[in-house]
């Protein structure tokens, strides 16, 4: 399957890229410029080779990466998500769009991360409002610690809570998720619930910073 990651930098994106490449998927890294995308791609290829993964990874502009692929993962900071997608929305037709985007800010005094609820109620709702109705949005991966995801010797014994309005799209995200050993997908329901999942993320981030740990979510 062809999967693109828009803004595919950092440990979080790196973890998804290499784990999905290991599963045999074709990965496309999207960036604002072709040159930057190619630079990130070479870094990803080097990291994949270092852990014994023969990867198919290509670098394109965000616009072309979205156009080329069946699944698009939005790995952009919340403050740039809406404007970036508005600028390339013509590239979207019938893709499944996965959003792990969380609207959060850091308190200047306490240094804690806080959830900042958008007017639409969630980042997922904002994305849905920007993209064509033919695109299916699935909210997922908010609560996986980036360091754990990028540690390729680590089995991720976490639960991934997903939300979406299309059952086939959620089934696809479940399959992609469970190709990564020990991850379990739990369907929470329609996309309108995404804000509840997004809001948990700053709490987990703060706990991981405080305790120097890799907390996530596990339902028992």
- 195 in any annotated domain: yes
- 220 in any annotated domain: no
pTM above 0.95, yes or no: yes
- The tally of domains found in the chain comes to 1
CATH number of residue 96's parent domain:
3.40.50.720
- In what order do the strands lie in the sheet containing 159-164? 56-61, 26-31, 2-6, 71-74, 96-99, 136-139, 159-164, 184-189
Give the domain range for residue 27: 2-211
- 216 in any annotated domain: no
Q: What is the pLDDT of residues 36-84, one digit of tens each?
A: 999 999 999 999 999 999 999 999 999 999 999 999 999 999 999 999 9
Q: What is the pLDDT of residues 165-212, one digit of tens each?
A: 999 999 999 999 999 999 999 999 999 999 999 999 999 999 999 999
């Amino acid at each position: 399957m062809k999967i693109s990651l828009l803004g595919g930098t950092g440990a979080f994106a790196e973890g998804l890229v290499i784990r999905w490449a290991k599963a045999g998927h074709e990965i496309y890294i999207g960036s604002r410029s072709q040159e930057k995308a190619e630079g990130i791609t070479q870094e990803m290829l080097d990291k994949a080779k270092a852990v014994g993964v023969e990867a198919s990874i290509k670098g394109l502009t965000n616009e072309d990466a979205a156009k080329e692929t069946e699944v698009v993962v939005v790995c952009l900071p919340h403050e740039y998500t809406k404007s970036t997608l508005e600028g390339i929305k013509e590239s979207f037709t019938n893709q499944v769009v996965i959003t792990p985007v969380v609207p959060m800010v850091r308190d200047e005094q306490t240094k804690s991360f806080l959830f900042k609820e958008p007017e639409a109620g969630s980042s997922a709702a904002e994305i849905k409002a920007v993209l064509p109705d033919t695109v299916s949005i699935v909210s997922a991966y908010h609560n996986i610690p980036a360091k754990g995801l990028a540690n390729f010797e680590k089995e991720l014994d976490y639960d991934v809570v997903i939300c979406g309005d299309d059952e086939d799209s959620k089934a696809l995200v479940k399959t992609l998720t469970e190709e990564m050993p020990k991850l379990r997908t739990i369907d929470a329901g329609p996309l309108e619930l995404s804000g509840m999942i997004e809001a948990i993320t700053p709490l987990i981030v703060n706990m991981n910073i405080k305790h120097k740990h890799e907390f996530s979510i596990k339902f028992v």
